[in-house]
Amino acid sequence: MTLSGKNILLGITGGIAAYKSAYLTRLLIKQGAIVKVVMTPTAKQFITPLTLATLSQNPILVDFFNSENGGWNSHVSLGLWADAMIIAPATANTIAKMSNGIADNLLTTSYLSARCPVFVAPAMDLDMFAHPATRRNIAALKNIGNIIIDADEGELASGLTGKGRMAEPEKIVAAVSDYFEQSNQLAGKTIMITAGPTYENIDPVRFIGNYSSGKMGFALAVAAANRGADVILISGPARLKINNSRIQRIDVTSAEQMYEACKSNFEKCDAAIMAAAVADYRPVNVSEQKIKKADNALTITLEATPDIAKLLGQQKSDRQLLIGFALETENGLANATEKLKKKNLDFIVLNSANELGAGFNTDTNRITILKKNGEKIDYQLKSKNEVANDIIDQMIVAANEIDK
């Protein structure tokens, strides 16, 4: 029983596929889960609360208030109770509300207050599913870390045929089971991750920096923490927030500070992923006062910063993994291969700065992984959260090879 003792909150919205929710509830119970069902008012038109209450062995929740006894269904307690929330079927309407933080029924308030992983199984007509507004809303949910269980192709309630059918209940249960199975994969491991840009001061108000947002590194930190790792996230100046008890965040500004933080933490780590865009050069002299404008050209002499990845590569033990990134504008494969060797990395993640939707300051990325044994894996353009999971998967493969 893969879901033994797990509290699962099943959210059902008003779509024809709601008839499958009865079977989904049974499958969840069979896997040992404790299931509570929250329905939108419209969902009741499609499947009776009685059926679901019987199958889930719990009363069904629809309203904030119980009209019979005046009792109150707390709008947040269900979200806090759940180890996982599944919204199946998820209509275009509810997906739009979720992606915009609209909380106008018990299902959407539970969603907004849930601290657990959320699985979303969209179900709608093919044109609604393909509409740019729905695409954007689903992408937004993916970006905030919700797990989308993609709709299937086939016959739809409208009589049309296309993509929009809710994934079969077996597939939904498998996605949730896989998630919990994976959540222990890195238990007991400590992973250090660098993220964001570094700023190298020129004077008190100016610096040399770059356009890195930190999104890739932060997504990696969440992905590693979701697999049970303790994460040390060493971040340059990034405008991102993170709230996860497994992630210890250390904020730094310059390459030198990032190096110091990495050096003092690396020894206790099982792996380090260097996703930061560290400045390669810094001014030799930092002016104490703001540099005044003059008529002649200004020359600032630069010196190399510490190459953190390379220095850790020299220190790393046989039991530690070191993973780097290469952001290239030309000769990607050749440059990445050289960095892989020079920095003594176990693998390197190559992304192109020229490609639309990849690299700095985007929510998506397209990567190629090059391993020290010469293996090369090309991936599709994906959200940075999905890319982060692909990288963590490969880190686990590399860790298993060490253990052999």
Give the active site residue among 93, 210, 244, 344.
210
Contacts for 17 with CB less than 8 Å, ≥ 6 apart: 88, 89, 123, 165, 166
Per CB under 6 A, the segment of 206-214, 237-245, 322-330, 365-373 that binds ligand C5P is 322-330
Residue in 191, 274, 369, 398 binding ligand C5P, rule: CB under 6 A: 274
Answer yes or no whether residue 276 interacts with ligand C5P by CB under 6 A. Answer: yes
CA dist., res. 91 & res. 15, Å (int):
6
Cβ proximity of 291 and 212 under 8 Å: no
Chosen residue from 92, 126, 193, 255 binding ligand C5P by CB under 6 A: 255
- Smallest distance from the beta carbon of 308 to ligand C5P, in angstroms? 3
CA 272, distance to chain mean position in Å, is: 18
In the DSSP assignment, the letter for residue 404 is -
Closest contact distance (angstroms) between CB of 282 and ligand C5P is: 10
Cα separation of 121 and 207, whole Å? 46
- Name the one range near ligand C5P by CB under 6 A: 90-98, 102-110, 203-211, 324-332: 324-332
Q: For residue 375, with 0-12 CB atoms within 10 Å meaning exposed, 13-18 middle and 19 or more buried, which class applies? A: exposed
Does 321 interact with ligand C5P (rule: CB under 6 A)?
no
Q: Does residue 89 have a cis peptide bond before it, meaning omega lies within 30 degrees of 0?
A: yes
CA pair distance 351, 212, nearest whole angstrom = 13
350 binds ligand C5P (CB under 6 A): no
Choose among 141, 160, 164, 138: nearest CA to 151. Answer: 164
Pattern of binders to ligand C5P over 211-250, x per CB under 6 A?
Answer: ----------------------------------------
* 339 lies in the site for ligand C5P, by CB under 6 A: yes
Question: Any contact of residue 309 with ligand C5P (CB under 6 A)?
Answer: yes
Segment near ligand C5P (CB under 6 A), from 30-38, 227-235, 274-282, 367-375?
A: 274-282
Which residues contact residue 207 at a Cβ distance below 8 angstroms, ignoring those fewer than 6 apart?
199, 200, 201
271 lies in the site for ligand C5P, by CB under 6 A: no
d(CA 169, CA 202) in angstroms, rounded, equals 58
Range in contact with ligand C5P (rule: CB under 6 A) among 108-116, 201-209, 303-311, 391-399: 303-311
The answer to whether 282 and 254 have CB atoms below 8 angstroms apart is yes
Residue 307 touches ligand C5P, criterion: CB under 6 A: yes
Report in angstroms how near the CB of residue 242 gets to ligand C5P at its nearest. Answer: 18
Stretch that binds ligand C5P, among 43-51, 54-62, 150-158, 276-284 (CB under 6 A): 276-284
Give Cα separations from 247 to 56, 187, 188, 230, 255 (angstroms).
Answer: 35, 13, 13, 6, 21
Which of 210, 325, 211 shows the shortest CA–CA distance to 273? 325
**48 with 21: CB under 8 angstroms?**
no
- The reply to whether 210 belongs to the active site is yes
- Minimum gap (Å) between residue 344 Cβ and ligand C5P: 12
Report if residue 137 touches ligand C5P, rule: CB under 6 A. Answer: no
By CB under 6 A, which span of 166-174, 300-308, 357-365, 391-399 interacts with ligand C5P? Answer: 300-308
With 0-12 / 13-18 / 19 or more C-beta atoms within 10 angstroms meaning exposed / middle / buried, residue 147 is buried
**Shortest distance (Å) from residue 305 CB to ligand C5P:** 5
Concatenate the DSSP letters of all residues of 320-352 into one string: -EEEEEEEESS-HHHHHHHHHHHTT-SEEEEEE
User: Which residue's CB is nearer to ligand C5P, number 151 or number 326?
Assistant: 326
Q: Per CB under 6 A, does 346 bind ligand C5P?
A: no
Give me the residues paired with residue 200 across strands. 208
Which residue, 224 or 326, has its beta carbon nearer to ligand C5P? 326
Least Cβ distance, residue 320 to ligand C5P (angstroms): 15
Q: Any contact of residue 194 with ligand C5P (CB under 6 A)?
A: yes
CB of 278 to ligand C5P, least distance (A): 3
Q: Give the catalytic positions in this structure.
A: 210
Q: Which residues of this protein are in contact with ligand C5P, per CB under 6 A? A: 194, 255, 274, 276, 278, 280, 305-309, 324-326, 339
